[in-house]
């Protein structure tokens, strides 16, 4: 079957003499992998269309049950040009495509996710500062699309509104994405996120204590930024400002949350560039 769909290039690698294997996130089929024959020849018809983070119109010879499809044609619809000239934007955009590649399965169509990806890349491309905020906001929306949105409006125990709440901090329960206010979180056991991150990298697996707890502390400034990242329009999140410490806390929190809910999730290489 010959089929056509819009797609974002996630990954491109050399294959045999002059070809490439390219992974796309497509509007119609979700993640798809294909072979672009002759893509590494000087005068290849594919040109620059197979570069990661490019929006393309893709024509495939598609066969059911085949792992690698044959890419017949690939034309650039849009290049996110600013992304390539700015380290922070590049890192944020690469993290988006890397997350998609890791967290989605092949041939699972999700048009809402496809639309979110385009909106995210556009917002990163146009960010005048803090492109990392777009990535964090993308991660929050990704969690919502996969059915485990963070509940950032009210305390999960007493129902108190979290907006404008003051105090030393709240507790986030990773399993439910629930937040407990300072009054209700006093007796909940918590762990230090950095310790869990390093512990999970160890060959001995997850320490029982950390797994049992599944609760982490979140500072008030981090909570309030998270709430705004979740609710503000993507193109406006780069204007959110916060201290570096809060930024590290936000990144660690979302990484842990994603890791808790996606088994496939490993540390992102592009994200490491921020540190």
Residues interacting with Zn ion, by CB under 5 A? 155, 157-158, 160, 181, 184
Write down the least CB distance from residue 159 to Zn ion, Å: 7
To Zn ion, the closest distance from the beta carbon of 229 in angstroms equals 22
Residue closer to Zn ion (CB basis): 155 or 254: 155
Judged by CB, which is closer to Zn ion: 145, or 188?
188
Q: How far is the CB of 185 from Zn ion (least distance, A)?
A: 7
CA 76/CA 73 separation, integer angstroms: 10
Question: Tokens representing 6?
Answer: 């819009």
- What is d(CA 149, CA 129) in angstroms, rounded to the nearest whole number? 26
241 closest CA partner among 122, 126, 129: 129
Alpha carbon distance 91, 271 (integer Å) = 7
Q: How far apart are CA 164 and CA 159, in angstroms?
A: 14
Between 89 and 227, CB nearer to Zn ion: 227
Using the minimum distance from each CB to Zn ion, give the nearer residue, 85 or 187.
Answer: 187
Q: Is 229 helix (H, G, I), strand (E, B) or coil?
A: helix
Cβ at position 196, least distance to Zn ion in Å: 24
Residues 152 and 148: their CA atoms lie apart, in Å, by: 12
**Residues sharing a CB contact under 8 Å with residue 55, sequence separation 6 or more, in sequence order:** 6, 7, 8, 76, 77, 78, 79, 80, 118, 121
The dihedrals phi and psi of 159, each to the nearest 5 degrees, come to 80, 0
Could you tell me the smallest distance in angstroms from the CB atom of residue 186 to Zn ion?
10
Neighbours of 177 (CB within 10 A): 18
In whole angstroms, give the CA distance from residue 198 to residue 47.
42
Q: Which is nearer to Zn ion, 97 or 162 (CB)?
A: 162
CB of 54 to Zn ion, least distance (A): 47
Nearer to Zn ion, 78 or 160 (CB): 160
């Amino acid at each position: 079957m010959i089929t056509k769909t819009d797609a974002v290039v996630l990954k491109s690698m050399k294959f045999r003499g002059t070809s490439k294997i390219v992974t796309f996130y497509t509007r119609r089929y979700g993640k798809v992998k294909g072979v672009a024959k002759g893509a590494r020849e000087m005068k290849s018809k594919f040109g620059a269309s197979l570069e990661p983070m490019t929006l393309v119109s893709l024509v495939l010879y598609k066969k059911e049950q085949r792992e690698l499809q044959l890419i017949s044609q690939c034309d650039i619809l849009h290049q996110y040009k600013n992304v390539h000239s700015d380290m922070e934007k590049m890192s944020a955009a690469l993290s988006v495509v890397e997350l998609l590649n890791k967290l989605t399965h092949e041939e699972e169509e999700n048009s809402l996710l496809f639309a979110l990806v385009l909106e995210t890349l556009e917002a990163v491309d146009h960010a005048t500062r803090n492109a990392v905020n777009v990535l964090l906001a993308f991660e929050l929306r990704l969690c919502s699309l996969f059915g485990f949105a963070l509940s950032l409006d009210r305390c999960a125990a007493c129902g108190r509104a979290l907006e404008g709440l003051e105090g030393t901090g709240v507790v986030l329960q990773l399993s439910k994405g629930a937040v407990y206010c300072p009054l209700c979180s006093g007796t909940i056991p918590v762990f230090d996120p950095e310790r869990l991150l390093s512990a999970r990298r160890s060959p001995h697996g997850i320490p029982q204590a950390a797994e049992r707890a599944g609760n982490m502390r979140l500072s008030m400034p981090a909570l309030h930024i998270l709430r705004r990242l979740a609710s503000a329009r993507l193109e406006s999140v780069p204007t959110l400002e916060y201290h570096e410490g809060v930024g590290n806390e936000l990144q660690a929190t979302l990484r842990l949350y994603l890791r808790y809910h996606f088994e496939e999730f490993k540390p992102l290489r592009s994200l490491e560039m921020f540190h």
